[in-house]
Amino acid sequence: MLKASKILIPVLAVMVLLGAVGAWDRLAHGKANLNFGSYIPWGLWVGLYIYMVGISGGAFLLVFLHHGLGISCLRRASLYALPVSLFTLGAGLLLVLADLGHMERFWKLYLQPNPGSILAAMVWVYTAFILVLLVMLLALAKGRSRWLKPLSVLGFFLVITFGGGEGALFGVLGARPYWSSGLLPIRFLFSALLAGVAVVAFTLTLFRKWPEDRDHWDAVGFLRYLILGLLAVNVLIEFSEYSITQYAGTPAVIEAHHLVAFGPYWWVFWIVQLFIGFLLPAILLIPSWGLRPFNFALAGFLIGIGYAGTKQNIVLPGLAVPEFRALPEAFVHNRLSVAYFPSVMEWLMAIGAIAAAALLFVLAVEYLPFLRGPAPTGARFAGAKEGRAA
């Protein structure tokens, strides 16, 4: 067992137990101990739901690039990307299930769906994607390699559907000008691709079970350029969104942007989203030292952290700006406030769900033999070392 796994398994198990306390509180007391209310009905859990589901879709990009497009150097990355995709999706859906007012009615989305509901369509797409992931894992375990290419193409089609569909869930809310943008589905999709690829890059370094042969360095080099390319695309999309909306001058949108940049959680935008999520990874990856394992893994980890801030900055500012200015003073109650900070129960549940996804991934890497890399090849290994020495 890897040293990292020996350290992480007990730590993550404790975090899952803490999450179980939060889950018990949610089941026993309903929404009594949640800090969101009528004006901010979506809080930390919804932000983390789109965060985890986004990582799931982004990780699957590597599966598609290897099995669908035949990029051979991504074979190991595609192996790790499958459990990353499955477990992060499960954690995201668990959190959004906990956010529902009546969790026990979730089955109505399957048996009594509204054909015109984007949310109902998304649930069906998520379900189809989970089935694709499970069948691909089964195909790997059984050695049915011919199944993988068509499944990867189908899976990537579903990723594009729900990756953009998440943005559409927010974008169609015309009463919320901050979200009502045709660019929002594109922002969701490309930020998800960046985060998913970065998280898989991080796991490849931390949980590497193969020698540093030529395949390994080819994969690292490819992923470095892919992450930098996706970083550049995301910066361009964010700049387009902010510059156009600022020039348009819609008051509610300007107020939401001001809240993001200079409100009580300014640090989420400036420090988490921009500095940790964009600037530091670029500094680590652009020079040649971006190929060093520590820098490569750290850049992937930082992008994963910054992506969480990006999603919180999409969800909460759109709700924190009241639909009319006198609303916060019209009725006074702790459930009728546009100020929000997650409660202890919300944090516990969130920590537990993320830790459960991470724990399942570590256990899968350690105990599923078909996720392990190939045996070292002497010629390739020697060649790679010579190349690095030169």
pLDDT, one tens digit per residue, over 338-352 is: 677 888 988 999 999
239 class by beta-carbon count within 10 Å (0-12 exposed, 13-18 middle, 19+ buried) = exposed
Per-residue pLDDT band at 376 (split at 50, 70, 90): very low
Show Cβ contacts of residue 261 under 8 Å, excluding neighbours closer than 6 positions.
269, 270
pTM confidence score: 0.86
Per-residue pLDDT band at 207 (split at 50, 70, 90): confident
CB 56 within 8 A of CB 196: yes
CB 165 within 8 A of CB 195: no
| Mean pLDDT, rounded, for 324-340 | 69
Per-residue pLDDT band at 44 (split at 50, 70, 90): confident
Task: Say what the pLDDT of residue 377 is.
Answer: 45
User: Using one digit for the tens of pLDDT, what is the confidence trace for 228-271?
Assistant: 999 999 999 988 888 887 787 777 788 888 888 887 888 888 99
| Mean pLDDT, rounded, for 100-107 | 80
- pLDDT top residue among 344 and 100: 344
User: Using one digit for the tens of pLDDT, what is the confidence trace for 273-319?
Assistant: 889 989 999 999 988 777 788 888 899 999 999 888 887 777 777 66
CB 4 within 8 A of CB 341: no
What is the C-alpha separation between 165 and 181, in angstroms, rounded?
Answer: 13
Task: Say what the pLDDT of residue 116 is.
Answer: 80
- pLDDT top residue among 116 and 272: 272
For 8, 13, 14, 364, 373, the CA distances from 360, given in Å and listed in that order, are 11, 10, 14, 6, 18
CB 384 within 8 A of CB 24: no
CB 80 within 8 A of CB 365: yes
Give, in degrees to the nearest 5, the angle at Cα 251 between 249 and 255. Answer: 105
What is the C-alpha separation between 345 and 347, in angstroms, rounded?
Answer: 5
What is the C-alpha separation between 41 and 335, in angstroms, rounded?
Answer: 10
Task: Say what the pLDDT of residue 264 is.
Answer: 80
Task: Say what the pLDDT of residue 168 is.
Answer: 78
340: its two tokens: 């929000």
30: left (phi over 0), alpha (psi -120 to 50) or beta: left
| Mean pLDDT, rounded, for 193-205 | 93
Per-residue pLDDT band at 373 (split at 50, 70, 90): low
Q: In angstroms, what is the C-alpha Rg of the chain?
A: 21
